[in-house]
Amino acid sequence: MERRLARTGDIPPGSAKPFPVDGVDILICNVDGAFYAIEDVCTHDGAPLDQGELEGRCVVCPRHGATFDVETGAATLPAVMPVATFPVRVDGDEIVVEC
């Protein structure tokens, strides 16, 4: 199901913003004007990734420094499991996520 979660101006380049959707926390990230959506949880210890930093295409977990690629969900140590990713499209100035 598609959800209109934010407007493009709500999430400036280099930032991310969390949204709860039907019991799943989704983090929308703006990487140089391209929007990505991942599950907002570290697969290593359950930390909310929105508390970490967006560095380029990666979100850094605030607890142990695992990183997650916002495009693919791929993880680096100490996390080994990727995070879920969600398709995103921009409709006018609205960010639409399929979740």
pLDDT band at 38 (very low <50, low <70, confident <90, very high): very high
Query: Tell me, what CATH number does 12's domain have?
Result: 2.102.10.10
pLDDT, mean of residues 62-81 = 96
Q: Is the pTM of this model over 0.85?
A: yes
Name the domain count of the chain.
1
- The side-by-side arrangement of strands in the sheet containing 88-91 is 2-7, 94-98, 88-91
Element (H, E) at 31: strand 24-31
The domain containing residue 16 runs over which residues? 2-98
Q: Are 95 and 11 in contact (CB under 8 A)?
A: yes
